[in-house]
Every structure is written in structure tokens, then in C-alpha cells.
Structure 1
């Protein structure tokens, strides 16, 4: 997700900005078949998490922490048959000096999108909605909404302007990070701008898409999004420390988060900033244990019918080598999942099917280092050592437009 002040970073996918890539053909309007799944990325050797390898990881993560000026990070890596690695580095609170702990809750930014889209896909499985339904069937006032499908919203191919890019939204947020926003207020910022592209023509990461999908879930289910997620997604998955908050509440224990995305550019403690402006796109809270389970659930489709999961994993090009985007999920050099960023916090939650490996990183700053997000730096350092054939990576700058075959 993009960064403040140029764009608020509640829900970013990339290292330094929005993934904005032009594609030359439209997304399919009919349900894709399982055969359309992407060819798995080649998998190189996977190193066992021996004491020697763990020591190498300790050094690599500590070096990254210091170079990037990150206060603290939690890391979990689990590889069946090859061991596990769970560590916490640095501090959870710069003022008190309290050490980071692997049991702390964190704000997870755009990882929220994987929950929102899972809820939508459950409703598709139940026959209550369809991926190729126009969003105008459920939400009024969407520019060109009769031509934008729920599939295109989930694929980030609607063409709709992201409300987090609107200068007035940015101004309002920076003036009072504690203020609440309603979903309709967020959409109002987006819809004062014309769409950036025709539906299905362009991949462009837009937080507006996820807000709309959250409203669709509410309309179709008759439940508040937070309630639906708790009852149908979180509880069935055993995720007891994960929630979509009403406002700024942040259950203890949690780490403090630090950001430079402020009106004056100075570092601020963003722990209790109201994340309602991220809502279905980026407001959720979780911890390492829950996200370990969730990474596998999302990648394997535990909560969905197999055919629906096959559609979810049918990724389209983004312009980043080795990275594609599906239905609220991405593939990155063989890893499946999502990342997240909002002021003070970043996350990477991914699963590597070829090795049945799961990686989670949670850091308490969103301040970039040499243009790259801390979350990318940590994930790259870890995977470079342990899964050298599948190195998680996102470049520090948006790429040039490419065609789907590029």
C-alpha cells in the first residue's frame, strides 16, 4: 500500500508504493477452471533449521534490524521435517525499553484483505453471491459499478481510484489520526475521482476495492463485517487472538508501533491511532501464532470449496518478476499469501506449498530503508538463507507497465 504523505499506508502491497501495472487484456469474465492455476515456481533446496542455520538467521535478522532502524520484529518460520525458528528481536516499546516478545499482538495492515476476500468467497460457495456479479447489485454510487464485477475488485483490476491517494483524505487523516472514518466516507473520497482505467484492463492496487467487498459481505450476509469474520472465519479457524476492531481498541499485550508518516515528518507512536480508515482493507489485529495457522489456511483453501480455491489462486501478472495477484492473495516466487502495512506496523504472512513452509514476520515500524519496506527486507533475508530457490522479494520502486505475457 502507498505511504503517507503521498498516500496513506494502511494497506500496502509493495515495498515503496502501490503495485500499479498496465495489462493489455481484460480479466476473464467467466469462472476460471482449476487448469488455469499458475505453474508452481521451481523450488530449490530447503535448508534444515539446525542450530548453525538458526545462528545465521539470528545474525541476518539482527543486521537488517540495525541497518533499517527497526525497533523490533517477530519472526516465525516452520518447515515440517526440517524444524522451526521462532524469535523476537529489539524492543516492543522504545520509551520503556520493553523487549519484543513473540506473544504480542500487532496491527497487520493489508493482511486484512485475505480475511475480507475469504468471507466473500464463502458467500460465493453458499450460493449467496457470484464473483461475476456487478458491484452495483450490492452497493450504490460506484462509478461504472454495473461493469465492475466482484471478481475484478478482489483481483485489484476494477480501475477504481484508491481513496488513500486522495489529498483531502490525507489531509484529514494527518490532521487527526484518532478520528473515525465510516466506509461511506472512505468511498466518498474515492468516488470524487474518475476511474483510472476500464474494468479488467489494468492491475492497480486500490484500497477502495476492499472497502467495497466489505460492504458486499455485510449486504449479502446481513451481518456486520466484524461479526461475520468472527463467526465464520476466525472461530472456525481457531484464531483466538485475531479481530477486526471497532475503532482504536488494541487488546493487550501488544507492541507499540512507530511511523514517520506524520504531518511534520517526525517519528510518532502510532499505536493507538484509529485504523477505521483501513476497515476491510487493513484494520485487523493478530499475533504470530494465529498468523502461522492463517497462512496455511489461506494458501490451501481450508475454508473454501476446492474449485473456489482454484479460482482464488489463479493469479494475474503484476509487473513484478515472480509475483502475481489472485483473489485477495499474491504469489511471490512460490510463496502464497499477502503482506501488510499501516502507520507503525508491517507484516508478511506467506506459505510455500513445495516445502509446506510457513513464514510470518511482524515489525513495529513502517518506515522504509533505502526505499524498501522492513517487511520485505526481513522476509528476503530469511528466505535467501533457508529457501534460496524461493526468495521472497519485492523491488523498492514500482515497475514499468507490462503486458500479461511480459
Structure 2
């Protein structure tokens, strides 16, 4: 892995030193073993249409290496995204590069950069974030440059319908919109 070759330290050690500790992320872990530490929601998969749900909670995301080996709470994900967009983690030129996006071709207006997506918000503006899924879980997180953050998660995957992902996206857009779910402007 590039991080380990450049720094001489493990991926987990670098994440802890550069992100987890400086941002005081108290519910974020890079697992050192195969067990998921601490209290957490159970994850389920549905191996086929109409099949019973299978509890896959014991499968550790560490099997995904750096692509999935972090565990975090919604609060910590929000804190991370806010710090990233405020420029607390990267130099300005690096953050600009991350936020230089190209359209993905999806009808929803999504654009993708270097590990960061932008998506339009109802009523104007965009939010920045990322989605992720692992056996038993699906997560969407986003933040706006003016300081709003939200993270939504479900504990079923695979086996969920496209409607589940659509509903997650709708919940996130509503939470980040400058207008509440009833169309009234939210003053912060």
C-alpha cells in the first residue's frame, strides 16, 4: 500500500495519527483484528428475493483492507466531513483538487472527484460526501461548505431494493437542505 511505503507505518497508524486523534473522533476505529469493537447495529443480508435475512454482523470490514476497514459513528463521520471541508485536513490546493469533480452521467446531477462526490440539493447548492456499503450495511454521508452535515445508514445489504438507496439519498438531501421537510427555510 502506498501509505505504508511512503510513511513506513501501517495504514491504521497513519489514520489514527492524522485524522482520528486530531479530530477527537471517539467512535472511529481501524480494527486491529477481525472483531467489530464496541456496541454497534447488527447487519443483515438477504441472499435472494424472498429469502430470510442472514445476520452478517460478525463479518469484519477489515477483510476489505483500506477500502473498508474503518468503523465509525454518524457523529464522527459528520465531524470528519466538516473538518475536511473547512480545510483542517488538507492543504488548500489538495482540497481544491478533491473538489474538482466530473459528472458521472447519472440523472441525479452527481459529480465525482478524488474520493469526494458533489450532489445537488433541493432549492440550490450542493453537498459534498461519499457513500459506502459493506456486507450488511449501507451508508451515505454529506456536508455543505456552510457547515451542515448528516449521515444516514441502513443495516441491510445486499438484498435491499433500489428504493432503499433512493430513500437514503432523499433523507440525506432533506437533512442537508436549507429548507426543512415542509418547505420552510431553516435559519441557522
TM more than 0.5: yes
Q: 164, 168, 180: which one pairs with 1:378?
A: 168
Whether the 8 Å contact between 1:311 and 1:327 is mirrored in structure 2 is yes
- Report the Cα offset of residue 384 of structure 1: 4.2
Partner in structure 1 of residue 138 of structure 2: 346
SS of match in other structure, 1:285:
coil
Matched, 1:216 2:2: yes
Q: 89, 101, 110: which one pairs with 1:323?
A: 110
Whether the 8 Å contact between 1:361 and 1:375 is mirrored in structure 2 is no
Partner in structure 2 of residue 279 of structure 1: 65
After superposition, the Cα gap between the structure-2 partners of 1:311 and 1:249, relative to the gap in structure 1 and judged at 3 Å, is same
Partner in structure 1 of residue 96 of structure 2: 310
Partner in structure 2 of residue 230 of structure 1: 16
Partner in structure 2 of residue 258 of structure 1: 44
Partner in structure 2 of residue 358 of structure 1: 149
For residues 173-184 of structure 1, the aligned pairs below 5 Å read none
The 4+ residue runs of structure 1 with deviation greater than 4 A are: none
1:251-286 CA-to-partner distances (Å, cap 9, x unmatched) read 221111111248xx5421111113233111112101
Partner in structure 2 of residue 332 of structure 1: 119
Whether the 8 Å contact between 1:347 and 1:375 is mirrored in structure 2 is no
Larger radius of gyration: 1
SS of match in other structure, 1:236:
coil
After superposition, the Cα gap between the structure-2 partners of 1:276 and 1:386, relative to the gap in structure 1 and judged at 3 Å, is closer
- Report the Cα offset of residue 368 of structure 1: 2.2
Q: Quick one: distance in 2 between partners of 1:251 and 1:385?
A: 29
- TM-score, normalised via structure 2 length: 0.81
1:314-354 CA-to-partner distances (Å, cap 9, x unmatched) read 0112111311111111111111010111111111111022x
Gaps of 5+ in 1: 1-214, 390-406
Whether the 8 Å contact between 2:44 and 2:137 is mirrored in structure 1 is yes
For residues 3-402 of structure 1, the aligned pairs below 5 Å read 215-261=1-47, 266-321=52-107, 322-333=109-120, 334-353=126-145, 355-366=146-157, 367-369=159-161, 371-372=162-163, 374-381=164-171, 383-384=173-174, 387=177
Partner in structure 2 of residue 57 of structure 1: none
Q: Quick one: distance in 2 between partners of 1:303 and 1:384?
A: 27
Task: Compare relative contact order (CA 8 Å, sep 6+) and give the higher one, 1 or 2.
Answer: 1
SS of match in other structure, 1:298:
helix
Gaps of 5+ in 2: 121-125, 180-188
1:294-324 CA-to-partner distances (Å, cap 9, x unmatched) read 1212333311111111111101121113111
Give the number of aligned pairs.
Answer: 172
Whether the 8 Å contact between 2:139 and 2:151 is mirrored in structure 1 is yes
After superposition, the Cα gap between the structure-2 partners of 1:315 and 1:260, relative to the gap in structure 1 and judged at 3 Å, is same
- Report the Cα offset of residue 358 of structure 1: 0.8
Whether the 8 Å contact between 2:117 and 2:128 is mirrored in structure 1 is yes
